[in-house]
Amino acid sequence: MKRNEMILSGFRRELEKNRMTLYQHLHMLARCWRYRLRSEAADIAQLSRLDLKGCTAIDIGANRGIYCYWLSKFVGPQGKVIGFELQPELHDALQGFKRRSSMRNVEIVMQGLSNQSGLVRIQRDYAGSTGARIGETTTAAAPTEIPAGFGQLARLDDYCREHNVHNIGVIKCDVEGHERQVFEGAEETLRKQKPILLFEAFNSEIEKGGLFEYLEGLGYSGFFWSQGIRYDACDYARAPFRRPTCVHRNYFFTPTAEAAHLRPAAVRHAQSYPVSA
């Protein structure tokens, strides 16, 4: 009896830890709609037009779950969303939002993604920061408990192989300058499954070279929306930003028609649907 009481007590503590108040939930829903209607209206509208029903969607850099929320709706009950988040402190917030929003098709993985596995120091101003960056990495074996200020890295290819992840329709990636490394760790997945990519990139990272060229070498071509106009990715320097202080934007990269013959409708919609930014 005592053992059963201890198990029940532990379950209650875990449930309480992952619980989100009504106020917190309404606040998160308001943020989700602000992103859809204003902050990232063009990109979320673009995602809503993709042929994603029944697909698997990957959210790399899930943070507090805004894109997980919308992707959950776009893939439908027969689809699945896998959200990766490096910062361990966001576990409770993500699980609470998932529970409150009844996102039964969402799985949260508390790991970051890169081109190698290991323990990494997180560079950030505060726990849960949307601007958190990947710092120094060690390939040492995963500890039983992750030290404060650190997170665990994995390769998407390894994860997909180990967990039999297939039918990936879209990958959203927001990792503050670590995009190239993430895609290098996902090369097998990109070559075989040909998902559409949506990722944020800073101009400074693009100017270094390598990111766009790497994806083009895998058979992808890129574009973005600015003030309702569609630009090729290579025109990043001449298109206006949303705000004068903004130095990054979101890019869509889609496989060529030959490479994406399994999902032609999704690619066609991604390349042609005009939305206002």
* C-alpha triplet 229, 277, 223: angle, nearest 5°: 50
pLDDT of 145 = 59
pLDDT digits (tens, 9 = 90+) for 219-258: 999 999 888 888 999 998 888 777 767 778 999 999 975 4
Q: Are the C-beta atoms of residues 71 and 108 closer than 8 Å to each other?
A: no
Homologous superfamily of 2-109+157-272 in CATH? Vaccinia Virus protein VP39 (3.40.50.150)
pLDDT digits (tens, 9 = 90+) for 91-100: 889 999 999 9
| Residue 209 predicted with pLDDT over 70 | yes
pLDDT digits (tens, 9 = 90+) for 26-80: 999 999 999 999 999 999 999 999 999 999 999 999 999 999 999 999 999 999 9
* C-alpha triplet 246, 252, 254: angle, nearest 5°: 165
DSSP state of 239: S
pTM (2 d.p.): 0.83
Q: Where are the domains of the chain?
A: 2-109+157-272
Q: What is the residue-wise DSSP string for 180-228? A: HHHHHTTHHHHHHH--EEEEEEEHHHHHH-SHHHHHHHTTEEEEEEETT
Angle subtended by helix axes 66-75 and 22-34, to nearest 10: 80
> In whole angstroms, what is the distance from residue 242 CA to residue 204 CA?
17
| Residue 89 predicted with pLDDT over 90 | no
Q: Are the C-beta atoms of residues 194 and 260 closer than 8 Å to each other?
A: yes
Q: Are the C-beta atoms of residues 175 and 60 closer than 8 Å to each other?
A: yes
> Letter for the amino acid at 191?
R
